[in-house]
């Protein structure tokens, strides 16, 4: 359930125009998070990557809980992508600054993802809600 809640919060940060169209006074709240947006994105990017690795390590769920495993994997992919978009500046500064090849690949990836950030944010909202619901529907022991 915590993965779903965090994905919803990350998606709200990634799609501020959607939030502002629904609630005009949300601009003040989003401005408070702006200085921390890079750090939040960087943390979520690495958390999403860890989730992808974790999903691969629990691939055995695919035979018994396929919907849950696919939800887990896709949710973590969206988390990593949105985190990368929000934290790109800091990731570039602290992680990729010494490797020009990695820097170029990251810029290429960012160029591919950037136009889709709004759609990824909406997918993240829906997927986060589904992750919360599925945590109650599928109890894994």
Tokens of 101: 């090849």
Number of H helices, E strands in the chain: 9, 0
Could you tell me the CA-to-CA distances from 43 to 14, 17, 36 in Å, in that order? 14, 23, 11
Q: 57: burial class by Cβ within 10 Å (0-12, 13-18, 19+)?
A: exposed
* 140 CB neighbour count, 10 Å cutoff: 10
Contact indicator for 69, 58 with CB cutoff of 8 Å? yes
- Tell me what pLDDT residue 55 has: 93
- Tell me what pLDDT residue 91 has: 80
What residue ranges of the chain have pLDDT lower than 50? Answer: none
- Tell me what pLDDT residue 129 has: 94
The span from the CA of 79 to the CA of 57, in Å, is: 18
- Tell me what pLDDT residue 78 has: 93
Axis crossing angle, helix 37-57 with helix 2-14, rounded to the nearest 10: 140
- Tell me what pLDDT residue 29 has: 67
**Main-chain dihedrals φ then ψ at residue 68, nearest 5 degrees:** -65, -45
- Tell me what pLDDT residue 19 has: 61
Tokens of 52: 């992808």
- Tell me what pLDDT residue 119 has: 87
The span from the CA of 37 to the CA of 86, in Å, is: 6
């Amino acid at each position: 359930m915590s993965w779903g809640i965090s994905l919803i919060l990350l998606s709200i940060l990634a799609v501020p125009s959607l939030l502002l169209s629904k609630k005009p006074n949300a601009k003040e709240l989003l401005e408070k998070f702006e200085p921390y947006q890079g750090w939040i994105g960087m943390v979520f990017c690495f958390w999403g990557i860890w989730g992808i690795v974790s999903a691969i390590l629990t691939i055995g769920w695919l035979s018994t809980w396929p919907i849950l495993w696919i939800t887990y994997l896709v949710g973590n992919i969206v988390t990593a992508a949105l985190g990368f978009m929000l934290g790109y500046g800091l990731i570039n500064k602290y992680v990729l600054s010494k490797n020009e090849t990695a820097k170029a690949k990251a810029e290429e990836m960012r160029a591919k993802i950037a136009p889709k950030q709004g759609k990824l944010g909406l997918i993240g909202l829906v997927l986060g809600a589904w992750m919360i619901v599925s945590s109650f529907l599928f109890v894994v022991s």
